[in-house]
Amino acid sequence: MKWLELVQVAGATLVAAVIVVTLYAVGVRFTAIAGDPEQSTPRWMRSLAYACFALCGIAVLFGLYLIIPYFTK
C-alpha cells in the first residue's frame, strides 16, 4: 500500500471538508445578521451570504466532478 498517497487523500479530504463547512457556517451567520430587524445592517451582508452559499455549492459540485468517473473520461 502506498501510505503517502493515503495521507495526501486524507489531508485533501480534511481540508475540503473544513472549507465547505466553514463557507456554509459563514453564510448562515451572514444570513442571520442580515435578517435581524433590530439592527441596521448593510444590504451587502445578504449578498455576501449568498456568495458563501454559492462557493459552497461550487466546491461540492467540483468534488462530485472529481469522484464520478463519467465526467473525467
Convert the pLDDT of each residue in 16-32 to its tens digit: 999 999 999 999 999 99
The CA-based diameter of the chain, rounded to the nearest angstrom, is 58
Q: How far is CA 6 from CA 1, 10, 12, 17, 63, in A?
A: 9, 6, 10, 16, 17
What's the total number of domains in the chain? 1
Range(s) of the domain holding residue 41: 3-72
pLDDT tens digits, 24-66: 999 999 999 888 777 777 788 899 999 999 999 999 999 899 8
pLDDT greater than 80 at residue 5: yes
Q: What is the pLDDT of residue 43?
A: 80
Q: What is the pLDDT of residue 38?
A: 76
